[in-house]
Structure 1
């Protein structure tokens, strides 16, 4: 009987195989008079959410009561998943290898794309209709999923559950998300064209799944953009206070993008409430603020987070071109007032590049299109980040041992250790001054950067690449070695050890852990046979079986 149930569940899972490549589920959250915000239903029906996930989704699905958001409101949320890395499907792992770093899946968080409707309805006990459609996904496709949310939610409010069932069936027919390919995604009689950027490619093209209009969102704080870039690249705690989740979630998302192509690796919550399961952790005065960017709307946070060192308070009409926020030098313990502005006592390491700020502000006067303004700003920030990272990339490459140190009969060498002083010694000849006119204490900024999760994640990725490359070079040397000659006169234990090592390396190659060609894999198999053919039959048979 149990086996039958398991088989049924397995069949149900397989039915939604393609759907789960794109989405985890679609949730409907409603207001219940007794329970408050409550999960009404989930699509597909086989999805199981934990109590904690349900609680976080429900509280994040509605704007805070103080916000007074009438009509329709769209915003983005990010919440912890209970399964973490186990969430990653084979298709997601393949996707991660090809996509740009800012769009990679980490498995530990879901993205939620919320469409909330609040309208007067005298037929309901509270006099209001309040309901949210939440698209939940591991993929951070803010542009694509915000559009889809705005398309299917009104349809659901008009026709009910039948439209969501149809939408899920449509999504289940979509091809896997493949970077670099323009995909045509049919949905409820319409089509969404989408392109997932490949590693290293950026565009403001509206078909891109990820498309943050940096200029539109950051215009009020444009004169402080270099300060904000420093805060983000050094993983400083930042809180965004706004009157609506739409505005705070947009600003949080934009800030995480200003250090592209470097991936922002601090935590970030585009919209955060006092009911969140991590509320105590983020507001603790004992431990101090963690490296996280929080978007909040509840005025209560002005008191709870007044010890945070950096706050951006947005105006009611956050995206109005008239907004220009002043920098307010405040002590961390001072309560933030209600005036829009950037509140921080941070002292920048680098000078502003006033030329780019002037160029973009002149574009406002000449009514240059927002897309062009965004492209200018994105290009400048990209060049600034590359200026900062190129000396580090050069130094990391120098940690690679010389080719002559690689021997097929010894273990693969490991990269040299990272030494900050050795790195600083390279800056005079190959520092940021080669690619930017921006002056300042670059060394001080690097020192601060080395203590951040952004650096740790970048360094881990680069070090892993070096290790992988050394393993590949070692395998290439082993594939060309004369093992027939080597095996002569060797003790059996040494020969057996070499056979086991080559078998393990062949298996790792098959699992794509080491990047070598098919030719090298074939040659390694041949080298294995070269050894085995030199051995007595009884030992050969044992090793072939094992």
Structure 2
């Protein structure tokens, strides 16, 4: 009887009404497509760190969020950062708060790569901190941070923005900030696949947000500019700078990230801490890192007790810290990377050693990776040698970073490819789609069944080791869970598209010839709901197919008695 979807007439009416609502412009909607707000954090002699200013003024931050931003916007006193310092942090949003980006969020995330999608539950903070001697201040120092808060993980872009606006703000204060925010409110929306020109303070920042279908690691497209131009990559971290003292352990670090293991990065400054954590998270791109990660974490953080408790195993999180107090507090964590100032051994960076966790006891703990972890795969010695040789020959760091990124990307893609092939085998065949029946189900993922496919369709890399053991461990990680949920959702959408195509290809009017009025009305409502869902969720179905379905619906309605036609036209 064509019963592939159950829908009430009332639901259909409500859905149509929702779609026909006029789109009222929202104040600061363009600004909020990029930023949540801009904050100025200063040091108050009585209060300590305090928010001096939030712009736009009507932005609603909870007290908990304000407190977190205050503490995360200043380097720890142990860091001793004089002059200008840039770093980033990530904080959990308060429960129950609403996004200020409204409907744009889903539209952007549908097209953006998973590693560049807008976050629903976290804010990213990008900090420009200045500490200089000032005799007019009681403490003898001027200490202030300009902080850009966003749901977008565009590290390089927002740090480039701060390099343009922060020095000017420290000279001219609030009027300058108001001007900048009004300029940002004129920016075009972040649209993946387009090159965007973002003017601010006489400079045009030019960026390209890649779309899901583009090759990872593509470079921004340059266009001639009449104004001063700055081409800013979104997240172009100098991974070689972050990893130069741990290059011989790149394989271990990649595996720890792939498996979502709890990791602490102890660094000499928030800059090194945040850059290293973000470089680690990006090491498994294009796979999304699905654990929590904090590029810079302090003892004042609201999650401090949650992450330092010894009553349960450490959570799947990467913490970037600078306070030596964490050495004692996080001793129970299974993987700790202790970074110091870079030391050279001749013309090469001195490589840190892997050490036993038992040696992590004193505040003057030496640099090293403290872990008992044994890699599943062997090191690629030829690749490490190539990178070290590049340092000796003074190969530009951008080139070295590109070589390292390509290597990590190929390793991740090689790991994921067998999983993708297996998923494809779980999809129902297109010929099994009937316009008159509920679409067939996607088969369940079987780990054992997948393992049997590895012999014929395993990773194509020549890297030797226990690939089977790595996959089994991966299945227990948050990254597998996140990847599978996302892919299952996409596959479900694909099945819906195939079913819709089968419906559009069917002769619906002929089917109605020997059916009762009740059955025809039921079919009409279901077809409308199907059409509405396709447009609302922007299913990748050709517009002419949807138009053909709309025409079929009208033809079916016109064959009914006038009273039913009138009723259906009101729906």
The correspondence for 2:282, drawn from 241, 257, 266, is 257
The correspondence for 1:329, drawn from 341, 345, 356, is 356
Residues 49 and 70 in structure 2, CA contact (< 8 A), matched pair in contact too = yes
Residue 134 of structure 2 is aligned to residue 121 of structure 1: yes
The correspondence for 2:513, drawn from 462, 485, 488, is 488
CA-to-aligned-CA distance 1:87-142 (integer Å, 9 cap, x gap) = 44333333222322211112211111111111222221222211111111111111
Q: How many pairs were matched up?
A: 533
Change over 3 Å in CA distance of 1:48–1:318 after alignment to 2: farther
Unaligned runs of 5+ in 1: 1-11
Identify the residue that residue 185 of structure 1 maps to in structure 2.
198
Residue 195 of structure 2 is aligned to residue 168 of structure 1: no
Residues 85 and 107 in structure 1, CA contact (< 8 A), matched pair in contact too = no
Identify the residue that residue 50 of structure 1 maps to in structure 2.
62
Residue 373 of structure 2 is aligned to residue 346 of structure 1: yes
SS of equivalent residue, structure 1 residue 86:
coil
Q: CA deviation at 1:45?
A: 1.5
Identify the residue that residue 467 of structure 1 maps to in structure 2.
492
SS of equivalent residue, structure 2 residue 465:
coil
CA distance in 2, matches of 1:292, 1:166: 38
CA distance in 2, matches of 1:60, 1:416: 46
SS of equivalent residue, structure 2 residue 373:
coil
Change over 3 Å in CA distance of 1:180–1:121 after alignment to 2: same
Identify the residue that residue 266 of structure 2 maps to in structure 1.
241
Change over 3 Å in CA distance of 1:430–1:289 after alignment to 2: same
Residue 167 of structure 2 is aligned to residue 154 of structure 1: yes
Residues 497 and 541 in structure 2, CA contact (< 8 A), matched pair in contact too = yes
Residue 108 of structure 2 is aligned to residue 95 of structure 1: yes
Identify the residue that residue 6 of structure 1 maps to in structure 2.
none
CA-to-aligned-CA distance 1:369-389 (integer Å, 9 cap, x gap) = 111111111111111001100
Identify the residue that residue 376 of structure 1 maps to in structure 2.
403
Residues 41 and 146 in structure 2, CA contact (< 8 A), matched pair in contact too = yes
CA distance in 2, matches of 1:449, 1:57: 34
The correspondence for 1:477, drawn from 479, 502, 507, is 502
Q: CA deviation at 1:15?
A: 4.3
Residues 84 and 107 in structure 1, CA contact (< 8 A), matched pair in contact too = no
SS of equivalent residue, structure 2 residue 144:
strand
Change over 3 Å in CA distance of 1:85–1:481 after alignment to 2: farther
Residues 170 and 187 in structure 1, CA contact (< 8 A), matched pair in contact too = yes
Change over 3 Å in CA distance of 1:319–1:385 after alignment to 2: farther
CA-to-aligned-CA distance 1:495-532 (integer Å, 9 cap, x gap) = 33322211110111221343211111122123323433
Residues 487 and 495 in structure 1, CA contact (< 8 A), matched pair in contact too = yes
Residues 119 and 152 in structure 2, CA contact (< 8 A), matched pair in contact too = no
> What is the correspondence of 1:352-391 to structure 2 with a 5 Å cutoff?
352-391=379-418
Q: CA deviation at 1:319?
A: 10
Q: CA deviation at 1:249?
A: 0.4
CA distance in 2, matches of 1:392, 1:13: 44
Change over 3 Å in CA distance of 1:336–1:258 after alignment to 2: farther
Change over 3 Å in CA distance of 1:85–1:336 after alignment to 2: farther
Identify the residue that residue 279 of structure 1 maps to in structure 2.
304
SS of equivalent residue, structure 1 residue 131:
strand
- More displaced stretch, 480-489 vs 284-293: 480-489
CA-to-aligned-CA distance 1:231-274 (integer Å, 9 cap, x gap) = 00110010000121011000000001110111111111100011
The correspondence for 1:104, drawn from 117, 129, 132, is 117
SS of equivalent residue, structure 1 residue 49:
coil
Identify the residue that residue 210 of structure 1 maps to in structure 2.
235
CA distance in 1, matches of 2:218, 2:192: 13
Residues 87 and 107 in structure 1, CA contact (< 8 A), matched pair in contact too = no
Q: CA deviation at 1:335?
A: 6.4
Q: CA deviation at 1:323?
A: 3.3
Higher RCO, Cα 8 Å, sep 6+: 2
- More displaced stretch, 75-84 vs 143-152: 75-84
CA distance in 2, matches of 1:149, 1:290: 33
Please report the TM-score for the alignment, with normalisation by the length of structure 2: 0.89
CA RMSD, 1 decimal: 2.1
CA distance in 1, matches of 2:523, 2:370: 63
CA distance in 1, matches of 2:316, 2:77: 28
Residues 60 and 77 in structure 1, CA contact (< 8 A), matched pair in contact too = yes
CA distance in 1, matches of 2:177, 2:316: 38
Identify the residue that residue 77 of structure 2 maps to in structure 1.
65
Identify the residue that residue 9 of structure 2 maps to in structure 1.
none
CA distance in 2, matches of 1:246, 1:535: 70
- More displaced stretch, 229-238 vs 536-545: 536-545
SS of equivalent residue, structure 2 residue 244:
helix
Identify the residue that residue 303 of structure 1 maps to in structure 2.
328
Change over 3 Å in CA distance of 1:514–1:299 after alignment to 2: same
Residue 92 of structure 2 is aligned to residue 80 of structure 1: yes
CA distance in 1, matches of 2:252, 2:56: 45
CA distance in 1, matches of 2:548, 2:359: 63
Residues 328 and 361 in structure 2, CA contact (< 8 A), matched pair in contact too = no
